[in-house]
Structure 1
Amino acid sequence: MAGTSGPARSVSATAPADGPARPSAVDRHIKDYLLHVSVERGLAANTLQAYERDLRRYGLFLTAAGVDQVEQITRRHISEFSQGLSDGADGGSALGLRSVARTVVSVRGLHKFWALEGISTADPAADVHPPQAGRRLPKAISVHSVTRILEAAGSETPAGLRDAAMLEFLYSTGARISEAVGLDVDDLVLPTESDEGPSLVRLFGKGSKERIVPLGSYALRALEAYLVRGRPALVAKGLGTPALFLNARGGRISRQSVWTILKTVAEKAQIEGEVSPHTLRHSFATHLLEGGADVRVVQELLGHASVTTTQVYTLVTAETLREVYAAAHPRALG
C-alpha cells in the first residue's frame, strides 16, 4: 500500500537508499484489518475491494502527511482526509457524496478495530461522521408499466422463452441482477401435485447470505415453459452448466446481457425513461408496500440487513398517497 510516495524524510526513515520503501506500521496494520474483514466478516468480493481501495487511499494520505505510526494519527488528520475526498485535495480523484460517505465509514471501522485490538489507545475517528446524502427515492414504475414490459417480453424461441422467464422472475422475487444470473437450476424449489401455495426459490445475496423467497404463478409458468422448451436447446450449445439462465452459447448469462435484454423489451413496450433490472426490484418493493405488505416482510424478501434500508420505500408510497389525496379530495387544494 503506502510507502511508495510521500515526503522524502518519511521514505528515508523506512527504507535503505538502494531498495524499495518498506511498509510503515500504519500500512501493516491496515493490511491486518483488511485480512480481518475478509476472514471474520465474510464480506462480498466487491465490498472487500471497496474497503481496500478506500483504505489504500487513506494510507497514502497519511504517508504524504508524514504519519507512519498509528498513535500519530489525530482527529485533524481524519477530518482533513474526509474533507479532501470531495475535491481530490487529498491527492486522489474527486468523489461524489455517497462515495465520500462510504470511504469515511471504512476509515471509522479501521480505527474502531485498532482501538478494540489495542493497536491504538484511543479512537480519533469516533467523532468524525460521514456526510449525509440527500434521501433519494428509489425509482419505481407503475404496475401497468411493468405489465406492459412483461407482456412485450419473449417469444417461442429458446432465447425468447428465457427472456420472458428471466424478467418475470426479477419482478416476482425482487432479486438483485447478480442474484438472478448466479442462480442454478437446483436453487428452484418447484411444486409437486401435493404442494400448496407458491413455489420457492433460494437466493444468495450480499456476503453469500441465503434467503428463500416465494415465486408467483406468472413467473412459475414462464420458468416451466423455459425449462421444458427453451433451456434444453440453449444448454446443448455449451459444455453443460448448472446455471438457470443461459446465453446463446450455452453458458451462464451475464448481467450486461440482462440489462440489454430489458432495455430492448422496455423500448418495445414504449416505456419512457430509463428501465434497468434494479427498476424491477424497486417496483417489486413499492408495489408490495402499496398493497399492504409489512415493511419487515419486504425487508426479508429484499435481503436487506437493516429495516432502515427498506423504509425508504415507504417514502415512495407516502408520496403516492399525497398525490391521490391532492387529486381526489375536494378541499385538498385551493
Structure 2
Amino acid sequence: MLQHAIDDFLHYLQVEKGLASNTLSAYELDLRSYCEFIEKERKKSKWIDVSRLDLMQFLNLLKESGKATTTIARNISSLRMFHRFLYQDGIVKIDISEHINIPKKSRKLPNVLSTSEVEKLLSINVKTSLDMRNKAMIELLYATGLRVTELIELKQSDFHRTMGFVRCIGKGSKERIIPVGDIALQAVNDYLDQARPKLIKQNQSENTLFLNHHGRPLTRQGFWKIMKQLAQQVGIKKRISPHMLRHSFATHLLENGADLRAVQEMLGHEDISTTEIYTHVTRTRMKEVYEQYHPRA
C-alpha cells in the first residue's frame, strides 16, 4: 500500500530529523492528498509504478485549483523529500522529483505593532490571577521573540529566575537560550509566586509554566483568544495576531541598532536571510520618518 511508505517517512522525519509536530502535520496533509490522487486519479497502488508525469499532473492540479504559491511551494518541498526518501530506501529505482524547482515566494513584509501599541498592550490592569498570567505571557513574548508554540510548551525549569534567561526548544528540536529583560523577568516572577499556585488546582504535578483556569497547559487557540481580547480592551484597532509580538520584538531590536546575527540567534532562524526581512521593515519605517520630518522630503 502507498500509505505504508508515507507512515515510514513521517516516522523518519519525527525520529531522525526531529521535526516539530506542526511541521509533521503539514507534511502529512500534503502527502495524504498526493496519495489519494495517485490511487484514485492515476489508478496506481505501488510507488515504483508512479512516474514523473503523475507527479507533474498532481502539481498542475494544485495550480488549476487556485492554490497559493506558498502552498504549492510547500507541497513541492514535501514531495521532493518524500521521493528522495523512497529512492534512498530502495523502494523505487529513480527519484522522479529530481530537478523540480520550487516557485519563488513573494516575501510579504511582517505586520508589526508600534512601540506605543506594544506599551498599550502591556498596560494590562492586573486584578486577578489570570490577569497576572496574561501580563507575564505578553511581557515574555515581547521580551524574547518566542513563537507561541514555544511559549505554551515552556516548563517551569525552562525559566531561570536568578540568571534571567529562558531556554526553549524550537523548530527541528533545536535548543536556544534567550535573555529576559528585567520588566518581563519581574512579571513572570510575580506570576510564579502569586498567580500560578492559585491556578494549579489539584494537579500539583503539572510542570508547564503557563496554565489555563483549569490548571492545565494553554492551547495556541486559547492564547490567541486572550491576546485578541486584550487588544480590544486597550483599544488597538488593527487586526492582531500572537506572531505580531515576535515580529515586533525583532523589528524594534533592529530599529534600535541590534546586531542582525544576534537577532537571528534569539529568533532561532537557521538562515539569516529569514531574519533579513525585518531590515526591510525598518527601512520602510525609516522612509516614513524621513518623509514626515525632513523639510525637503
Q: Same fold (TM over 0.5)?
A: yes
Q: CA shift at 1:121, angstroms?
A: 3.8
Over 6 Å off, 4+ runs: none
Q: Which amino acid aligns with 1:212?
A: I
- Structure index of larger Rg: 1
Counterparts of 1:108 and 1:115 in 2: how far apart (Å)?
11
Residue 114 (structure 1) aligned with residue 89 (structure 2): no
Q: Which amino acid aligns with 1:291?
A: N
Return 131-140 or 211-220, whichever deviates more: 131-140
Distance 1:87 1:121, change over 3 A: same
Residue 81 (structure 1) aligned with residue 27 (structure 2): no
Identity of aligned residues (%): 41
Match of 2:192 in 1: 227
Contact 2:158–2:166 (8 Å) recurs in 1 = yes
Distance 1:71 1:224, change over 3 A: closer
Match of 2:111 in 1: 139
- TM-score normalised according to structure 2 size: 0.90
Contact 1:238–1:249 (8 Å) recurs in 2 = no
Q: Which amino acid aligns with 1:164?
A: K
Distance 1:226 1:71, change over 3 A: closer
Contact 2:120–2:234 (8 Å) recurs in 1 = yes
Q: Pick from 2, 19, 42: which aligns with 1:65?
A: 42
Superposed, which structure 2 residues align to 1:139-158 within 5 Å?
Answer: 139-151=111-123, 153-158=124-129
What SS does the corresponding residue of 1:156 show, helix, strand or coil?
A: coil
Q: CA shift at 1:27, angstroms?
A: 4.6
* CA offset digits 1:71-119 (Å, max 9, x no partner): 544433222211211444xxxxx64332221111111112222333444
Residue 238 (structure 1) aligned with residue 196 (structure 2): no
Q: Which amino acid aligns with 2:158?
A: D
* CA offset digits 1:275-302 (Å, max 9, x no partner): 2211111100111111111222111111
Return 70-79 or 292-301, whichever deviates more: 70-79
Superposed, which structure 2 residues align to 1:302-313 within 5 Å?
Answer: 302-313=267-278
- TM-score normalised according to structure 1 size: 0.81
**Matched residue count:** 295
Contact 1:174–1:281 (8 Å) recurs in 2 = yes
Contact 2:231–2:240 (8 Å) recurs in 1 = yes
Match of 1:186 in 2: 157
Return 214-223 or 305-314, whichever deviates more: 305-314
Match of 2:19 in 1: 43
Counterparts of 1:280 and 1:269 in 2: how far apart (Å)?
16
Return 166-175 or 223-232, whichever deviates more: 223-232
What SS does the corresponding residue of 1:85 show, helix, strand or coil?
A: helix
What SS does the corresponding residue of 2:276 show, helix, strand or coil?
A: helix
Q: Pick from 172, 180, 192: which aligns with 1:207?
A: 172
Contact 1:78–1:128 (8 Å) recurs in 2 = no
Distance 1:57 1:283, change over 3 A: same
Match of 2:258 in 1: 293
Q: Which amino acid aligns with 2:207?
A: P
Distance 1:68 1:314, change over 3 A: same
Q: CA shift at 1:176, angstroms?
A: 1.1
Return 27-36 or 94-103, whichever deviates more: 27-36
Distance 1:267 1:117, change over 3 A: same
Q: Pick from 136, 139, 147: which aligns with 1:165?
A: 136
Match of 1:100 in 2: 72
Q: CA shift at 1:58, angstroms?
A: 1.5
* CA offset digits 1:167-222 (Å, max 9, x no partner): 1111111111111111122111112xxx6xxx111112223322110111110111
Contact 2:161–2:189 (8 Å) recurs in 1 = no
Contact 1:286–1:316 (8 Å) recurs in 2 = yes
